Amino acid sequence: MGGGYYDGDVAMAARSSNQDAFSYQGYASDSDAVAGRREVHPLLQIHGQSRECMNPTPIVVALDVTRSRGNDSRIMYEKLPMFIGQIEAKGYVDGPAISFCAIGDAHAPDQAPIQISQFEADNRLDEALSKIWLEEGGGGTGQESYELAAYYYARHVFLKSLESGKKGYFFFIGDEGFYPQVDQYQISNILGHEVGENVDSKQIFKELQQKFHVFFIFPKKSFEERKADIDAEIKQRVEAAGGLYKNVDVRASLIWNNRNDLDLHIIPPSGEEIFYGHKQSACGGWLDVDMNVQGESLKPVENIRWKRGDAPKGHYRVFVQNYRFHEQDLKPTPFKVEVEVLGEIRHFNSVVSPNRETHTESNVTVYEFDFDPAKRKPLAEEQDQYNNYNDTVVKAQWANVIPEEHILIIDEPESIVDVMLGALALTAGSSDLDGYMVDLKNRENSQARISQTMLALEQLSSTKALTKIEGSRLPAKEEGQKRSGKSERI
């Protein structure tokens, strides 16, 4: 795949009139919507499939589409005509074809943790990119499923260019780490391929680099911005309604976005079910927010929690029920549940009442877990649940699997495409850093943008220049003769 020609005029005209970009929300058809099934768009569905690129230069743009990075895909869409136009006008690489990949969190579980398009070189790229489902989920652990995407491209993508010894280019764009292993069940259930055991992520990134020059573009954020992304809307709704969000052993929070009366239930080790009819338990659990009894809100929330030090040891079951429809159309209701256990936060997305069920017939089990108070960390350590989002931690993990100079740090997402173009030019050897800076100036970028891009590419540029010098340096004849003889003591 990958033939054809990308017409920039057609692309710009489409952007001026198309209001449907990124409007896809996972409903494959009306019948699927009624049944409550949500799937990725057929152009991005890869279960049991493979991808191939017959063009000279394969390029993968892998975008994190969780809460913290949801807007990067829109930026890429707006700048795609410029990206392709500059490659062709400046000759940075020959015959490019692009595959887009959207990455969520398969551990959350997001409903669309991996979305991958075919390699294309013409205006079909616009459709593939604009049909990405921006689920904006994520697991709240500082990790997303980058390793699952790497596994797919390493083992289930064919590149014709490798036959002539030319690698492709792979750009991860995100701000978090990856999971240490590729889960065998995710490989089976999401990718549709069978493997007998979990696979070490280091091994997968090693395999990926045999096919691609792999980069990680890392848009920086302040700690407060990252923290806001993690907590997101659930925290805001819980605290606005007067619920307890912090300093808990166990907490489950439910949000949805219509007037139906969804109810959150937890059965703790005592078997004493906590729900709207029994809000406080003898074991310390409390449903402290209960909404939409009368359908009063379009942004409702429910919250069950045990204060720090109160939760009993044992097995817990969390489930959601649609007690009553207040909406007239009786459609299924998507919902999200956030579960915190000893400072570790997980997110779960699902749908209730796919066939108009109510009361106990509508019950959807969300999560079951075992709680052990002996594993409670000191409060100072437990509050550091955001440590995995620290820039140093994220960068160190990526530097363990790709060259450090391939970690390209930027201050603002609008620089993503500029940095990608620079990385292509420097790695392919079609331009040096000074020459690329001239190109940036000619595109009438601001001085701040030019400086930021230069800073992101400096280490890569230095490494490429050093490699070029060392590759062209030949040993003198006398030096070669001395090395081949016996050593001398002076």
The pLDDT tens digits of the residues spanning 214-224 come to: 999 998 765 56
Among candidate residues 261, 264, 345, 257, the one with its CA nearest the CA of residue 303:
264
Give the pLDDT score at 108. Answer: 63
Give the pLDDT score at 278. Answer: 97
Tokens 């692009």 correspond to 98
Give the pLDDT score at 30. Answer: 47
The pLDDT tens digits of the residues spanning 104-137 come to: 888 765 678 999 999 999 999 999 999 999 887 6
Our CA angle for 42, 61, 2, nearest 5°, is: 65
Kindly state the average pLDDT of the residues 452-457. 95
Phi, psi (rounded to 5 degrees) for 407: -95, 105
Tokens 């995100």 correspond to 174
485 falls in which pLDDT band (50, 70, 90)? very low
CA 387 to chain centre: 18
DSSP codes of every residue in 462-477:
HHHHHHHHHHH----H
Strand partners, 98: 59, 120
Half-sphere exposure of 216 toward its Cβ, with a 13 Å CA cutoff?
A: 26
Half-sphere exposure of 366 toward its Cβ, with a 13 Å CA cutoff?
A: 30
* Tokens at 198, concatenated: 């979990």
Among candidate residues 102, 135, 130, the one with its CA nearest the CA of residue 116:
102
Give the pLDDT score at 380. Answer: 55
Give the pLDDT score at 403. Answer: 96
490 falls in which pLDDT band (50, 70, 90)? very low
The pLDDT tens digits of the residues spanning 270-280 come to: 999 999 999 99
Among candidate residues 416, 390, 394, the one with its CA nearest the CA of residue 404:
394
Domains 8-220+391-468 and 233-376 fall in the same CATH topology? no
What is the percentage of the chain residues whose pLDDT exceeds 90?
A: 66
CA distances from 141 to 219, 222, 338 (A): 18, 17, 12
Give the pLDDT score at 107. Answer: 77
Give the pLDDT score at 17. Answer: 74
Instruction: Specify the DSSP class assigned to residue 67.
Output: G
Q: Cα–Cα distance between 190 and 108 in angstroms, integer?
A: 13
Q: Cα–Cα distance between 335 and 342 in angstroms, integer?
A: 23
81 falls in which pLDDT band (50, 70, 90)? very high
CB 234 within 8 A of CB 246: no
The pLDDT tens digits of the residues spanning 375-403 come to: 877 665 554 555 666 778 889 999 999 99
* Tokens at 17, concatenated: 């009139």
The helix (H) or strand (E) run that includes residue 352 is: strand 344-352
The pLDDT tens digits of the residues spanning 48-59 come to: 999 999 999 999
DSSP codes of every residue in 224-282:
HHHHHHHHHHHHHHHHHTT---SSEEEEEEEEESSSSEEEEEEE-TT---BBTTB-B-T
CB 303 within 8 A of CB 275: no
Amino acid sitting at position 432: D
Cis peptide before 354 (omega within 30 of 0): no
* Dihedral angle computed from the Cα positions of residues 361, 300, 387 and 110, in that order, rounded to the nearest 10 degrees: 40
CB 57 within 8 A of CB 168: yes
The pLDDT tens digits of the residues spanning 178-234 come to: 999 999 989 998 999 999 899 999 999 999 999 999 999 998 765 566 656 555 678
DSSP codes of every residue in 78-101:
HHHHHHHHHHHHHTSSSSEEEEEE
**Whole-number mean pLDDT of the chain?**
87
The third-level CATH classification (topology) of the domain covering 233-376 is Lipoxygenase-1 (2.60.60)
Query: Domain-by-domain residue ranges, the chain?
Result: 8-220+391-468, 233-376
Which residues lie below 8 Å from residue 402, measured CB to CB, with a gap of 6+? Answer: 205, 209, 214, 215, 216
pTM of the predicted structure, to 2 decimals: 0.72
3-class secondary structure per residue, 145-184: CHHHHHHHHHHCEEEHHHHHCCCEEEEEECCCEECCEECH
Q: Cα–Cα distance between 139 and 104 in angstroms, integer?
A: 9
**E-state strands within 376-469:** 407-410
Does domain 8-220+391-468 sit in CATH 3.40.50.410?
A: yes
Residue 306 class from Cβ within 10 Å (0-12 exposed, 13-18 middle, 19+ buried)? Answer: buried
Instruction: Specify the DSSP class assigned to residue 211.
Output: T
Tokens 């999401």 correspond to 190
